A and B are shown apart, each in its own frame.
Chain A
Amino acid sequence: MFRDAVLMAGKDLRIEWRSRVTTQQIAPFALLVILLFGMALDPDRGILARASSGLFWVAVLFCSLLAIQRAFTIEAADGGRDALRLSGLDPAGVFLGKAAAIAVQLVALEVVLAIGVVIIYGAEVTGFPLLIATCLAATAGLAASGTLYGVLAAGLRVRETLLPILLLPVLAPVLIGATRSFEAALGGVAADGWPWCGLLVTFALLYLTFGTLAFGTLLEES
């Protein structure tokens, strides 16, 4: 299973590396979103700095939608899904691999966004360990649930419009947990953030487990 996952993640990341969609389209979009927030809200640095953790994670959610859709679009071309089924790879491995590839891209995006938030919004980082733990836990949750719902919507004519309505309400706990945890890491008391980080870890574990079990059924029918 893990060998298959590594193969799958390697394949997806190679495609991303060669096509440059993440670096040339999704990352600039992420930066654009935080600029747009700055324009929509008062450019008064005080408001932006206070809201920066929430805005950061909303931007991450939007970008993750793009990354997830992208991850399943690459399978749609040239009968990729049929090839995937014929390959004999373990579905659980495919799920973990796809989720890992999405997670790697999201972490890269989060680094870009974090730099943007610090520079543009003037946020101050006070708790680095919490910041990194939150990013990792939230990303795992986003990638796991995103992969699960992504394959649900993949192959449908209305996938671009369907995925957000299916996935975003489900991600509400991630947004809440990650934002509260970030607030603690950006100028708050770090100890306040760790329970939220625990919530994120629980969410990620739930979806990783469920995805590993259910992905086979879904892959058959996507």
Chain B
Amino acid sequence: MTAPLDAAPVRATTGSPGTRVWGGLTLAGFALLLAFAFLWSPADILQQDAVRLMYVHVPTAIVAFTACFITTVASAMWLRRKTEGWWVLGAASAEVAVVFTAVCLITGSIWGRITWGTYWDWDPRITSTTLLFILLIGYLSLRRIDSEAGDSAQRGARSAIVGLLLFPNVVIVHFSVDWWRSLHQSATITRLDPTIEGTMLFTLMLGIVVFSMLFAWLLVHRFRLGWIEERVGATGLDDAIEERRAEAGVPAAGATL
């Protein structure tokens, strides 16, 4: 069990000075966003206070779709280069994407209840985002199987192919659902007014920036965790044997047997 991997000692933490500063900035950003979202931005004339959900809903949607795109790019790069970093990045991004997609769906649903009077509507965006959520879960369950297969040399290309198809599938699904619903859509539903301005627009932009910062922070940590996990796979058994030897008071490797 002497893989070249365990030569370098691995830091057993995902934090670093850089991420701590970044995390602090993100927290400060959230404080500012909360102040803007709840205090300094006005309620909408039509939607009243429900409009404040938009400052979470829209940024999470943007981040979720960006994260999917990153997974697709990482999968393509892994298929090309077969380097560990791309492998870990694909999973890290998809995991964060699942969380953001869920938040996006939940906030959208609450907003829909208040504004449209229904938790669910066959809106193209809701439908395709829900399908995206399921696609991501499918991808992650396949990933888990592939990760259990061992180190990068033994891994199949399966989850990378599914990851590669993730974003194109979202596009095809969205296009078809959009086309389908545009034929039936009743015009009575009040849409988000696209011409928002002033403080509301600023708050929305701030939300996008802050949630992107959070995404970057989560992605970096998840990436580092994945990286450490890869190392644990290679060194874990050796370490465990050493530990057991130490416990039993047996001299270190090689002395017995």
Contact = CB atoms under 8 A, between A and B. Distances in A.
Interface stretch (A35-43, A121-129, A158-166): A158-166
Contacts of B172: 173, 203, 206
Main secondary structure on B side of the interface with A: helix
Interface in B94-147: 131, 134-135, 137-139, 141-142, 145
Nearest to A192: B183
Contact of A217 (B137, B157, B175): B157
Interface in A173-222: 173, 176-177, 180, 199, 203, 206, 210, 214, 217-218, 220-222
Range class of the A interface residue count: 20 to 34
Nearest to A168: B134
Nearest to A163: B138
A214 B162 CA distance: 11
A140 interface: no
B131 A172 contact: yes
Contacts, number: 65
Interface string B157-169: 1100110010011
B232 interface: no
Most A CB contacts (10 A, CB to CB) among B142, B158, B175 go to B158
Contacts of A172: 131, 173, 176-177
Contacts of B179: 199
B15 interface: no
Nearest to A174: B176
A158 to B, nearest CB: 7
Given A156-B145, A217-B157, A169 B177 contact: no
A163 to B, nearest CB: 10
A170 interface: yes
B236 interface: no
B158 A152 contact: yes
A170 B135 contact: yes
Nearest to A217: B157
B150 interface: no
Contacts of A221: 156-158
B180 interface: yes
A166 B138 CA distance: 5
Contact of A169 (B131, B141, B175): B131
A166 B136 CA distance: 9
A156 B156 CA distance: 11
Nearest to B176: A173
B162 A152 contact: yes
B161 A217 contact: yes
Interface of A: 148-149, 152, 156, 158, 162, 165-166, 169-170, 172-173, 176-177, 180, 199, 203, 206, 210, 214, 217-218, 220-222
Closest 8 pairs between A and B when the two form their complex, measured CB to CB: A221-B156, A173-B176, A165-B138, A166-B138, A152-B158, A169-B131, A169-B134, A217-B157
Interface of B: 79, 131, 134-135, 137-139, 141-142, 145, 156-158, 161-162, 165, 168-169, 172-173, 175-177, 179-180, 183
8 contacts: A162-B142, A165-B141, A166-B162, A170-B169, A177-B176, A199-B179, A206-B168, A221-B158
